[in-house]
């Protein structure tokens, strides 16, 4: 049996651990003194009871946060230890939505496109969009997203783009040679057209939810 290799390394942060523990002990002692005072001097007046209840809740929340601080560690990812593509497991990504008004299609489609563009063997990556509301807006929007993904995913692969979310990527300044900047400008123009098409769909399509038979469409993007 082949021994599995850890995909990350970690080390304990000793200096931070000492500081955190000293702070936790001092804070805990102060809380103990506060509760002793409250219990021995509390009256049945409503304001004092409310304040005491609030202090109990906040102290409990503080206590829950101490687990990670009691023994802090630093982790380093080791992507070079990943197995070969043929040994990687298949991954299913589910994106769920229900209302294109409360959940605008642009944000949902950015999530779908980001998942499709993940740096993972495409034949082992499956992305599903589940629209619980069955809105025609979402149905038409995902077709537009598929069209944009045809140019976005090859661009990400060609230039090893780390930020695979189009909306976030185009909000940051990028440097590179003339060819890269020219191609990036073309992709950005395509993305702006994609945004306009989603806005037109939202404005012209009835977004009301209706009961109907499920609509299932499959798009193979492993050849993009």
Per-residue pLDDT of the chain (224 residues; tens, 9 = 90+): 456 778 889 898 999 999 999 999 999 999 999 999 988 887 778 888 899 999 999 999 999 999 889 999 999 988 888 888 888 889 999 999 988 989 999 999 999 999 999 989 888 999 999 988 888 899 999 999 999 999 999 999 999 999 999 999 999 887 878 899 999 999 999 999 999 999 999 888 776 656 656 666 666 655 56
Encode burial over 18-51: b for 16+ CB neighbours within 10 A, e otherwise.
eebeeebeeeeeebeeeeeeeeeeeeeeeeeeee
Q: What pLDDT is attached to residue 21?
A: 94
Q: What pLDDT is attached to residue 2?
A: 57
| Cβ atoms of 69 and 19 closer than 8 Å | no
Binding residues: 102-103, 132
Binding residues for UDP-alpha-D-glucose: 102-103, 132
Q: 176-183: long-range contacts at Cβ-Cβ below 8 A with a sequence spacing of 24 or more?
A: 183/155
pTM given for the model: 0.68
| Cβ atoms of 70 and 105 closer than 8 Å | no
Q: What pLDDT is attached to residue 1?
A: 47
* Residue spans per domain, the chain: 8-77, 85-204
């Amino acid at each position: 049996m082949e021994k599995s290799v850890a995909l990350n390394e970690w080390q304990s942060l000793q200096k931070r651990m000492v500081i955190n523990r000293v702070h936790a002990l001092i804070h805990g002692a102060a809380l103990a003194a506060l509760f002793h005072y409250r219990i021995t001097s509390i009256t049945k007046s409503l304001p004092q009871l409310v304040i005491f209840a609030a202090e109990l809740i906040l102290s409990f929340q503080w206590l829950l946060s101490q687990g990670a601080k009691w023994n802090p560690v630093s982790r380093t990812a080791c992507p070079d230890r990943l197995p070969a593509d043929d040994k990687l497991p298949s991954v299913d990504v589910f994106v769920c939505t229900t209302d294109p008004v409360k959940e605008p299609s642009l944000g949902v489609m950015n999530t779908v496109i980001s998942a499709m563009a993940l740096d993972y063997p495409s034949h082992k990556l499956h992305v599903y969009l589940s629209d619980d509301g069955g809105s025609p807006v979402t149905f038409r929007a995902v077709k537009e997203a598929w069209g944009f993904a045809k140019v976005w995913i090859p661009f990400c692969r060609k230039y090893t783009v780390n930020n695979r979310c189009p909306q976030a990527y185009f909000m940051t300044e990028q440097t590179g040679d003339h060819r890269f900047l020219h191609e990036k400008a073309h992709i950005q123009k395509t993305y702006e057209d994609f945004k306009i098409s989603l806005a037109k769909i939202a404005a012209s399509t009835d977004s009301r939810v209706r009961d109907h038979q499920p609509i299932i469409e499959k798009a193979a993007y492993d050849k993009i």
